[in-house]
Chains A and B, each alone.
Chain A
Amino acid sequence: MLEPINISLESLNLMTLAPMLIPVIGALLIIIIDTIKGGLDKTLYVALSLLFLFMDINALLASATTFAEDGTIMGVFDMMLIDGIAILGQLIIVGASMLFIPLALTHKRFHEFSYPEFFALFLFMVSGFQFMVATDSLILIFVGLETASLALYTLIAMHNRDKSFEAAVKYFTMGALAAGFYSFGSMVFYALTGSVEINQIASVLAANEYVDMGYVLVATAFMLGSLGFKVSLVPFHTWAPDVYEGASASMAGFMSIVPKIAVFVVAMRIFEFLIHSGVVWLEIVLYIVVVVTMTMANIWALVQTDVKRMLAYSSISHAGFVMAAILIGTTQSNSALFLYWVLFSFTNLGAFSMLWISRQKHLPDHQRSDHSYDKFAGMIKTAPVGAAIMGLFMLSLAGLPPFALFWGKLYIISSAVTGGYTVLAFIMALNSAIAGYYYLKLIVYMFMKEPVVGTDGHMYVSNATLALKSIIGFAAVGTIFAIIVLDPVLEFITSFVYNSGY
């Protein structure tokens, strides 16, 4: 007969689950409301989602306070690991989601937002990403990743256009492959060490001094493949432009931020210990992948004719830029990663929102795609404020001081200098220069070309409501005045990263 399991409830530390469970409860509530009374307006669901995300942030801040006082907390049979980078990751995930969800309040009616399931799935997805970053166990990471990804595929498809279905199916099949890679990599790690917890794996591997180097490399290769797919590193990036094009602009903006930070945290957990324990092979491969991702994505972005596709390639390039921080692997570089991503969230979400408010339902004859460059020609004459704000986001993405992203770039390049990666620092700087060209291209269209005859400024804000404008205004203010809050943010991030041992 089996022994009854005796565990005190306190040792489980169930509070560690609170931040992830809040959105789950929210999602269930939304479904329940829908079953009781259907046909309610989307504003209700937006408000509910916002409220639950707000509670989520509160719970996160509470656990941040606990972390600052008592250090890392483990919970639920040591499955949950609430350390500094988990909290930072979750803060970015939830914060960016809060900026995203009001984008559903469009002026025009879009198919997906009329379903309450959209918001339920969205909250499930947020919870999935939160699980992913707040654990040390390869299994829970996988569960979180798949929960989130499956929800995301559906959200993309709900945009209800031919290209959206194509995008969702493409993302789904490629995602399935990545999931396979991930489980295979985890399996090899488990076979080598008998554990699925990353710190256990690290200590077992260190104890037997990496005798099975060949297998470690196989496992690492699979991990790199799957994580590289999720953050769209070259050569695993091929889905990104098509999926971004198929998804709605707001969803594309979301995809360029939230899933990636979740994966970056996981990558940080897995790759840091491997690099630091002298797996030279990984360092070389990562170096190559980072450089190729930055450079090639920039070059592809140069030739795009659609702004959204350009932004897709640009976010691939930014991901490569940030992956360099993981390669460098110092406290400064890991802090730089979070700083960069916070600043990037503002700017990139702002840029995609600008595309979102200019979304037309029917394309005029001269326009080949939803957001082709010539759509923005002469925007300064017809919609000066919009043009100025879009120009601002472009300059920030290009890394022009004193706008937000410049500080992120500065800090990452500085960490490369400090970490001894001199050549990499110059490659990063030169890549920013290449990137300058395609951001400038949009500015040239907006400010220096003549508008297409017969267009008026209304087209650029046709989808705008007060909610969307507020989000854009918020992003713009964040982009311009980032410098003011930079010091406390940097200190906060550095202390959290440092105290988690990265």
Chain B
Amino acid sequence: MLDHILSILIFFPALAALLGFVIHKDSIRSYGVAVSFIEFILALVLWYNFDSNVSGMQFMEQLPLVPTFGINYILGVDGISLFIVILAAFFTLIGIASLGETKNIKNMIITLLFLQMTMAGVFVALDAIIFYIFWELSLVPMLYLIGAWGGPLRIYASVKFFLYTFTGSLVMLVGMLFMAYFYYQATGQWSFAILDWYRLILPETFQLWLFVAFFIGFAIKVPMFPFHTWLPYAHGQAPTIGSVILAAILLKMGTYAFIRFSLPLFPDASVFYMFPIAVIAIIMIIYTAMVAYAQKDIKQVVAYSSISHMGVIILGTFALNVEGISGSIFLMIGHGVVAGALFLLVGVIYDRRHTKMMSEFGGLAQVMPRYATIFGIMLMASVGLPLTINFVGEFLSLLGFFQQSQVLTLLAGIAIIVGAIYMLAAYKKMFFGEVTNEKNKNLPDVTKTELVALVPLVIVTVFLGVYPTPLLKPINNSVESIVQLMHDKAITEEAKTRIPTLVVSKEIKITRTSMKEAH
């Protein structure tokens, strides 16, 4: 079973979703929880059997699909993708378990299970076309989730979400076809396998163009400024579960793809575009933080803060060294947990009051103390309080970029601190002071079902903030091999110096020991 565990991870939810059509609608919720629980256990089995000392791909599977055109079904997992896969399984479980009363719950759960298939597929695919298939397929369930269960502007939001990403990914597809063609020119064989592409060293001009083609696809997904305008609509209109999955997993596809494709394939172009992208990332952090401060809707605040954090992830990724990239991967997981939790928390209050306007609330801490506590912890994690999960990632990302540019890192650091203001302000508006609104007087505190979803998230947030090693070690291993690959592949001097090599030159070692001996 372990030989095919990745395929099982992908297709088990899909199969379960198909079977879901025959389940009675009163039992469908339990069915959904059961299926996603099994999927989560499978993901944990994967982690348990994962050898964290190996930096390369594990559990590889290969099956020819269109061998004449080089399309093969190749799967594999390494330290970079492992935890995002687990996170996806975790959040689907939590999302389904915490699902409130919704119309058409059967369709929703089936949609969620299909979505889970695509999420698992994206992160373990090692063939560009297979990656692209899952990448695109993930749009359809999300479109339906937003469009069928969303707010008043749901159709506009869902179509905007779909078209933005669809356009970007088609440009990316052309880029992929170019890569395959260059591989064909170099070797006489078509191949879309990412590991094959890693061996390809492209001239710098090609890299610059291809980087842009891939960048458009990924940047829209992340979403990076100025392509971010679909995200506030999607979050604003999506049902709670949609926002949770979108923020926790779907956005990570973009940043993950940067690490999987852009960096190792185009090391010179990555160095070339490092500063422009860093500037965009910093604009993202500052600008969206300012916009978030101006929001009246708590969900929009969380949405914009989400974009702001994605900026930090991008910054860490484009530090192009082990600290930065490891930090950004860790922050992806951290942000997934924290933003997911915040959207769940917003959902809790929305279920009670059917409004998300902060002006409607105030003094909630007195009425709902447990809710206020959990919200407080998650909010602190979100602004990067030390000993919470986000701090580790943010710190490492900034540390990584510090080695490239101190000024920009300083700017980003200040921006993150300033960014804390809007979160704290939002918290103050909602939770402190007197209960001014009559309707809030008798709000019930969080229920048991909600606690089942929220408490594990709090535990994870704090535990990984205190002790991040179990995750950081495998991540570090894989990142080191990627950075080394980039260094070896780089052709320009600039890139060679910007991307540090990890192989310590033997000469220095000898001189050091010989010096010791001399003393």
Contacts and interface: CB of A to CB of B under 8 A. Distances in A.
The answer to whether A and B belong to the same complex is yes
Interface of A: 380, 395, 398-402, 407, 410-411, 413-414, 417-418, 425-426, 429-430, 432-433, 436-437, 440, 443-444, 447-449, 483, 486-487, 490-491, 494
A288 to B, nearest CB: 21
A444 B162 CA distance: 11
Given A429-B173, A444-B147, A448-B154, A418 B181 contact: yes
B144 A417 contact: no
B69 interface: yes
Contact of B163 (A399, A413, A436, A483): A436
Contact of A426 (B64, B65, B174): B174
Contact of A414 (B133, B148, B162, B180): B180
Nearest to B213: A426
B132 interface: yes
Given A429-B170, A448-B154, A491-B68, A417 B181 contact: yes
A493 B302 CA distance: 53
Contact of A487 (B68, B132, B148): B68
Contact of A417 (B64, B132, B177): B177
Interface string B145-161: 00110000011001100
B178 interface: yes
A377 to B, nearest CB: 12
A380 to B, nearest CB: 8
Contact of B170 (A380, A430, A491): A430
Contact of B159 (A407, A429, A437, A491): A437
Interface in B342-356: none
A401 B66 CA distance: 14
A401 B132 CA distance: 8
Contacts of A429: 170-171, 173-174
A490 B147 contact: no
Given A444-B159, A490-B69, A402 B137 contact: yes
B166 interface: yes
Contact of B158 (A395, A400, A448): A448
A487 B69 CA distance: 8
B173 A410 contact: yes
Contacts of B139: 400
A73 to B, nearest CB: 27
Given A413-B174, A437-B159, A447 B67 contact: no
B136 interface: yes
B502 interface: no
Interface string B413-443: 0000000000000000000000000000000
Contact of A410 (B64, B129, B137, B184): B129
B177 A414 contact: yes
A17 to B, nearest CB: 34
Contacts of B154: 448
B490 to A, nearest CB: 25
B167 interface: yes
7 contacts: A410-B173, A417-B174, A433-B163, A436-B163, A440-B162, A447-B147, A490-B68
A490 B66 contact: yes
Contacts of B159: 437, 440, 444
B452 interface: no
A373 to B, nearest CB: 13
Which of A414, A426, A487, A491 has the most CB atoms of chain B within a 10 A radius of its CB? A414
Contact of B65 (A380, A413, A433, A487): A487
A351 B425 CA distance: 53
B140 A400 contact: yes
B68 to A, nearest CB: 6
B383 to A, nearest CB: 36
